[in-house]
């Protein structure tokens, strides 16, 4: 399965009673699939998967599968803290039509998350999964780091086809690329360093920013692939201010607010998360407009 390209990790709409908004999710996908993105990730960190129960998770995948045409990869996040729950979620996602799964590292028992524990966990999941799996390292939220040595080892498993590395540590991305076979797909998760990640060998990205400016993200990858480095670097610089606001600064609240600003209302985050305050919305609006001007 070829996952080289740009994916949006889509947010999950909730209604005013804090329930999964199925109609809203369907409507949002109808818009997203019109764009140039390679594919979509549901139930990633940006999908607020950590705040949803198993039943809601299944419904979100089913809705996405209904709308996303075969041929454009649909990836579902299925990482859980226990190995057995991860396997169960993975099997359900596969049966609901996910083309691949994105499996975040467990991270609750940080001190025990060693190289060996990661290798054992992912091997068990990959052995049991009906669909290919992507490793997923997001140290800023998990507090653990899936290091290149463990990834090298896991990359030999036939059912582990790639990885999302959400950190901005470009040296670590370079090491992940060097330490894995050519067909192992390293996808960047940080749009602030997307160009640099490509420069050291990443094959694409799963970028929150791709929800907001999908064309720009796809164009950046395209420029890079054609060897038009100066233009790619310029475009990278243009997206950085918006990228930073959508990162840890504003989080999910920022992503949902930005989507609303561009005409796609996916509601507000689930509590304990809170909606973006007005000054945040104003800053996002400015950043989006500033980007549209320079990019025009």
Question: By the criterion CB under 8 A, which residues form the site for a copy of itself?
Answer: 18, 45, 50-54, 81-85, 106, 108-113, 116-118, 120-121, 124, 140-141, 143, 168-171, 174-175, 178, 190, 192-193, 195-196, 199-201, 227, 229, 233, 236-237, 240, 248-249, 251-253, 270-274
Q: How many residues does the chain have?
A: 296
The residue among 105, 100, 87 whose CA lies nearest residue 41 is: 100
Indicate the residue among 12 and 185 with the shorter CB distance to a copy of itself.
12
CA 263 to CA 279: how far, in whole Å? Answer: 19
Task: Give 121's DSSP letter.
Answer: H
Q: Which residues of 47-58 are buried (b: 16+ CB within 10 A; e: fewer)?
A: bbbebbeeebbb
Smallest separation (angstroms) from a copy of itself to the CB of 149: 13
Shortest distance, CB of residue 213 to a copy of itself, whole angstroms?
Answer: 18
Tokens 């990885």 belong to 163
Q: How far is CA 156 from the centre of its chain?
A: 23
With CA atoms as reference, report the closest residue to 239 among 269, 258, 267, 212: 212
Nearer to a copy of itself, 200 or 281 (CB): 200
Which residue among the candidates 164, 244, 260, 285 is catalytic per the annotation?
Answer: 164
Residue 164 known to be catalytic? yes
Between 1 and 109, name the residue whose CB sits nearer to a copy of itself: 109
Closer residue to a copy of itself in complex, CB, 7/250: 250
* Smallest separation (angstroms) from a copy of itself to the CB of 98: 21
Catalytic residues: 164
């Amino acid at each position: 399965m070829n996952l080289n390209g740009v994916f949006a990790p889509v947010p999950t709409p909730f209604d005013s009673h804090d329930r999964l908004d199925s109609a809203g999710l369907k409507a949002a996908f109808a818009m997203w699939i019109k764009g140039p993105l390679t594919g979509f990730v549901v139930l990633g960190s940006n999908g607020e998967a950590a705040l949803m129960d198993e039943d809601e998770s299944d419904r979100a995948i089913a809705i996405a599968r209904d709308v996303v045409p075969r041929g454009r990869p649909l990836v579902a996040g299925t990482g859980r803290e226990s190995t057995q729950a991860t396997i169960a979620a993975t099997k359900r996602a596969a049966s609901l039509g996910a083309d691949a799964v994105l499996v975040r590292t467990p991270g609750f028992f940080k001190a025990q998350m060693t190289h060996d524990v990661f290798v054992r966990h992912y091997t068990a999941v990959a052995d049991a999964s009906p669909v290919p799996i992507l490793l997923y390292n997001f140290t800023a939220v998990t507090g653990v780091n899936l290091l290149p040595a463990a990834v090298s080892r896991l990359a030999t498993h036939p059912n582990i086809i790639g990885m999302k590395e959400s950190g901005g540590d470009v040296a670590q991305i370079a090491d992940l690329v060097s330490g894995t076979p050519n067909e192992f797909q390293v996808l960047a998760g940080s749009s602030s360093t997307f160009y640099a990640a490509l420069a050291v060998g990443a094959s694409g990205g799963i970028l929150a920013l791709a929800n907001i400016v999908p064309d720009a993200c796809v164009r950046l990858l395209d420029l890079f692939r054609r060897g038009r480095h100066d233009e790619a670097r310029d475009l990278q610089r243009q997206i950085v201010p918006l990228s930073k606001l959508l990162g840890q600064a504003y989080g999910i609240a920022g992503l949902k607010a930005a989507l609303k600003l561009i005409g796609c209302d996916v509601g507000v985050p689930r509590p304990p998360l809170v909606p973006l305050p007005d000054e945040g919305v104003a800053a996002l609006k400015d950043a989006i407009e500033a980007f549209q001007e320079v990019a025009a």
